[in-house]
Structure 1
């Protein structure tokens, strides 16, 4: 820390639109000093342009380096120069989860080249020497077919002298209005105590009514497909073709699915060829979330990167005949209600939301880190991120809890 600024410093690798950084940015004891993201989209597409969104909200411009190629010593020099620091207190590193997620069938058999980025985290940790390291990814990082990447990472961090804890968490149990399961790895330097989200939530539980779609977005003003609300440029829903709009209108509100189209011959005519083939093959659960509506009184389904079209998942509004807006999905992803996504294309904005670590959760991780670094265990009125869908009054005491409900125990490394 400098003599002028006594806050602990944070460096965010694979920073995206700032979801993980925001949780620390909102904590008074931390300063986000530097961030790095190559802004890579799919090869056939243009840049993700996430660094402009990051800068609009966090206030610094991420360094545009490819973390698969840059040498750790070069990264160290760039980060020290940019962040005006020697070594960061906290290193955040959330490599792409595309190669791990179970939603892509090939990930059960093919080891995606991007998965090797997990191992690079240890190389960057060796160069930057942070006191705490946090890695977040799909649950398959520590449970899936290629968990060897996390096993290797943990072993490397332990050789560097860190104590490491890895587990899988149900984020709805920590207040996110979404059925999201994520792997979180925390490593702490020698001499520091290990604290986790389990410890933070011990003795507390979330009122389940506060993690529903209704609680999160019910009071937002109505908009139509292709319309932007004048008071919020991110409360905007993409336009759809007439055939897609007719299909949406024929799907029952509050949890309906494309399968419901086949209940009536008149609406069955609106089904896509893929839907017809699935019914003919008696695979009615095949991609059942496609074109599906969210249900008001349940958490949202997992919000993924390609959430910009109703044909990619259950992203249709529970009642209105349209795709959920960027703002609605951002709220369901744990962003504050005033987070800005208006500096890029709408399609990129949807990707920024789907790619992000929920800030509602990253803020809790920031409080875990401040606890590790010598602070007291915070109460919910401290670790609940302001201006999100979760409020301190949504948290209840749970004297019988040992936080087991928060986690899905990961298998031990072989």
Structure 2
């Protein structure tokens, strides 16, 4: 989320905090994401547990002494996501960080609050955590807008469904990402894998391109895994294709054989799958560092998509630096991230809220990403003319 605001010409990031925990059982600092944050934004985040830290103390640690314009609160989505089977039974203790955001609102007194999370934040079993936050914000006079979106609607070359939240303080008019895109449409090719990855050089599994240390793909854990991927057809192929290609059945795993026997594939066909050139990528999740965890294989080359490729597909500019020695952690940083392309658009919406200036098409395109001005078209009926014949933009308002 921070990078989109950092890259925006009208905002400055003045503080950040992250515990760097990959999961509750991980040692403190194990995720090593703060190093990447500092390399790209120029600020060293305060390493602290936001579930227990005193907000006033945190402000002092950041050197913040006055009310701020934007507070970005992005609690982990792991405890909400439907892909985690435990979440159907247990309310992850980290989910309470959503409601706890209100203590930081009281301390920092932001004019705008932004948040991103899994779609289940609004419609899952534990959605009461968001209701706690919403009621707390409204009690303080904020107007709150929260909605689920498929982010490819806004130019991300990936089918990623997420909750986006914007809350504005009293005296400010609420604007949303839908308002910024009202009357604007995307060309079909703008969100394709082909467009996004165009021009990247070929590499082999286990290689790092000499000109870009993020254009790296891990080696295969076994010859069987490599052989399996070799048999899967290019451009969108699935492990189910192993049933019809010569010699393919030799590479079926016990789990695959069980699915075939039951004739129940569910979402399982995506494992070991290849991306398709002319469609958006599937949702890139935090455990995207192995071809067996989803449809993360290159459309043609026999390897996992590189860190750089998955970064591009999740809205990072091509120059973004992924720091640290662990290749797996770099993949996790991408899967966990708010797509910077989307946070840049949210920054433009926040600038609109603060200044009254609606974002132009250029304001929706994070420099260095795949999206181009020609990809976004203004609808013919979106321009209304006043009595002098001068064009005036017609805006849609969302009442909450």
Q: What TM-score results when the alignment is normalised by the length of structure 2?
A: 0.92
Corresponding position of 2:201: 221
The residue that corresponds to 2:133 in the other structure is 153
- Please point out which of 322, 330, 335 is paired with 1:349: 330
**Equivalent residue for 2:31?**
48
Aligned with 1:112 (options 92, 98, 106)? 92
Mapped partners of 1:129, 1:266: distance in 2: 63
1:88 aligns to what? 68
2:311 corresponds to which residue? 330
Structure 2 CA distance for partners of 1:115 and 1:200, relative to 1, 3 Å? same
Q: Which residue in 2 is equivalent to 1:367?
A: 348
Q: Which residue of 2 aligns with 1:71?
A: 54
CA-CA distance at 1:282 after TM superposition: 1.6
Match of 1:237 in 2: 217
CA distance in 2, matches of 1:62, 1:130: 19
Other-structure match for 1:4: none
Stretches of structure 2 lacking an aligned partner (at least 5 in a row): 384-397
Q: Say whether the 8 Å CA contact 2:35–2:323 is kept in structure 1.
A: no
Runs of 4+ with deviation above 6 angstroms: none
What is the match of residue 268 of structure 1?
249
Q: 2:117 aligns to what?
A: 137
Q: CA deviation at 1:73?
A: 2.6
User: Counterpart of 1:61?
Assistant: 44
Residue number in structure 2 paired with 1:285: 266
Deviations 1:366-389 (A, max 9, x none): 011111111411211123111101
What is the distance in 1 between the residues matched to 2:204 and 2:193? 19
Match of 1:295 in 2: 276
Structure 1 range deviating more: 319-328 or 370-379: 370-379
Q: Are the equivalent residues in 1 in contact too, given 2:238–2:272 (CA < 8 A)?
A: yes
- Give distance in 2, aligned partners of 1:358 and 1:24: 12
TM-score by structure 1 length? Answer: 0.89
Q: What is the match of residue 211 of structure 1?
A: 191
Q: Whole-Å Cα distance in 2 between the matches of residues 71 and 281 of structure 1?
A: 53
Deviation at 1:28, TM superposition (A): 1.4
> Cα RMSD between the aligned structures?
1.7
Stretches of structure 1 lacking an aligned partner (at least 5 in a row): 1-19, 403-408
Residue 309 of structure 1 pairs with residue 295 of structure 2: no
Contact conserved, 2:77 with 2:117, CA < 8 A, in 1?
Answer: yes
Counterpart-to-counterpart distance in 2, 1:366 and 1:61 = 21
Do 2:39 and 2:323's aligned partners in 1 also have CA atoms closer than 8 Å?
Answer: no
Corresponding position: 1:21 with 2:2 = yes
SS of the aligned residue for 2:331 comes to helix
The one-character-per-residue Cα deviations of 1:290-340 (angstroms, maximum 9, x if unpaired) are 000001110000001001000111000010000000000000000001000
Cα 1:375/1:344, change in 2 over 3 Å: farther
Confirm or deny: 8 A CA contact 2:157 2:192 kept in the other structure. Answer: yes
Question: What corresponds to 2:12 in structure 1?
Answer: 31
For residues 109 and 397 of structure 1, the distance between their equivalents in structure 2, rounded to whole angstroms, comes to 46
Whole-angstrom CA distance in 1 between matches of 2:278 and 2:132? 41
Query: Which whole-Å CA distance do the structure 2 matches of 1:395 and 1:60 have between them?
Result: 33
Q: Secondary structure at the match of 2:71?
A: strand
Partner of 2:386: none
Which residue does 1:14 correspond to in 2?
Answer: none
**Does structure 2 retain, via aligned residues, the 8 Å contact 1:254–1:296?**
yes
Number of corresponding residues: 382
Contact 2:119 2:163 survives alignment (8 Å): yes
1:246 positional shift: 0.4
Give the 3 Å change call, closer, same or farther, for CA 298–401 of structure 1 in structure 2: farther
Q: Take 2:262 and 2:343, find their aligned partners in 1: how far apart are those partners?
A: 43
Which residue is equivalent to 2:170? 190
**Equivalent of 1:388, from 346, 350, 369?**
369
- Counterpart among 155, 172, 185 of residue 175 in structure 1: 155
Distance 1:251 1:401, change over 3 A: farther
Equivalent-residue separation in structure 2 for 1:286 and 1:269 (angstroms): 22
